[in-house]
A and B are shown apart, each in its own frame.
Chain A
Amino acid sequence: MAGPGATPLFYTFFFYIFGLTAVAAGLVFVTRKSPVAAAMWLVVTMFAIAALYVMLDAQFIGAIQVMVYAGAIMVVFLFVIMLLNLGHPSQFSDLRSFGWKLAAGVVGLGIMAEIFTLTRGTVAHPYVLPAGFAAGQVAREGVIAPLAGPLFRQYLLAFELTSVVLLVAIVGAVVLGMRRTNAG
């Protein structure tokens, strides 16, 4: 274990359970032929990731993950699958040719190697918070306050800009989804 301080064994155990659930469900997701089955397995992955968030002292983000990703975004996906009547797996496989699979393997291995190399690096000590700082903050100030403070002070501009992003996205989705008529 890399972090300082002793992590309880059951904590590590459940962390790995949820992490492996996420990875396994992700693998199943990417190999399903039916889009509906794939979407359902992606929901499993997102629930497992939400559990990881909670174990990493980000309880509010975990709740938001369940509500926004598993609740809202995946429902929109399923709605589009239903709207376009894509629920049945296509007659022929939608996998790409061998060259693409080789490229995917090479790119995937490259990215994994890069990230594994990055995890070996170290950060200068003054920037690292002491062990258990996040958990202590949650115990002192509650789940939302440590997140809301920086969000509405330090990152206020970014927060306000997200409202513009959402507005543009709504207008864009409506315009793209509009049926074009010659009379209009």
Chain B
Amino acid sequence: MLVDSLFFSAVLFTIGVAGVLIRRNAIIVFMCVELMLNAVNLSFIAFARSYGVGGQVFVLLVMTVAAAEAAVGLAIIIAVFRHRQTVDLQNVNLLKG
């Protein structure tokens, strides 16, 4: 079970990374970050089964941080949308050299 869970976790994390790198829609990029957090949580749960329940506690903390991150991140997206009238990341290039 552990190796199978890590396999699914790795694949899901890779899908998330690929989504962040390929997509330009800020909301979809943000959802890909959530997918990566989920993949890491899956590893934590799988390890918690063999190495003690601490992994499950970590998952609870990760979920809390994910909820906080979603609130702040979506507020930032709304603020960007007010300025630029778009969430396309190609138009958000102020910090680009």
Contact = CB atoms under 8 A, between A and B. Distances in A.
A80 B8 contact: no
Contact of B22 (A29, A95, A128, A149): A95
A30 B4 contact: no
A23 B8 contact: yes
B42 to A, nearest CB: 6
B52 A129 contact: yes
A165 B41 CA distance: 19
B78 A26 contact: no
Nearest to A26: B15
A104 B18 contact: yes
Interface in B46-93: 46, 48-54, 56-57, 59-61, 63-72, 74-79, 81-82, 87-88
A184 interface: no
A140 interface: no
Interface residues of B, number: 68
B7 A56 contact: no
B82 to A, nearest CB: 8
A30 B6 CA distance: 20
B74 A123 contact: no
Interface string A1-42: 111000100001001100100110011011000010011001
Contact of A95 (B24, B41, B59): B24
A176 B65 contact: no
Contact of B38 (A30, A57, A69, A172): A69
Nearest to B32: A30
B23 A147 contact: no
Interface of A: 1-3, 7, 12, 15-16, 19, 22-23, 26-27, 29-30, 35, 38-39, 42, 45-46, 49, 52-53, 55-58, 60-61, 64-65, 68-69, 72-73, 76-77, 80-81, 83-84, 86, 90, 94-96, 100-101, 103-105, 107-109, 111-112, 115-116, 118-119, 123, 127-129, 134, 137, 146-147, 149-151, 154-155, 158-159, 162, 165-166, 168-170, 172-174, 176-177, 179
5 contacts: A56-B49, A147-B60, A150-B53, A158-B61, A172-B75
Given A22-B12, A65-B41, A177-B78, 14 more contacts: A7-B1, A22-B8, A35-B28, A39-B31, A58-B49, A58-B56, A69-B38, A94-B28, A104-B17, A115-B13, A128-B50, A155-B61, A169-B71, A176-B79
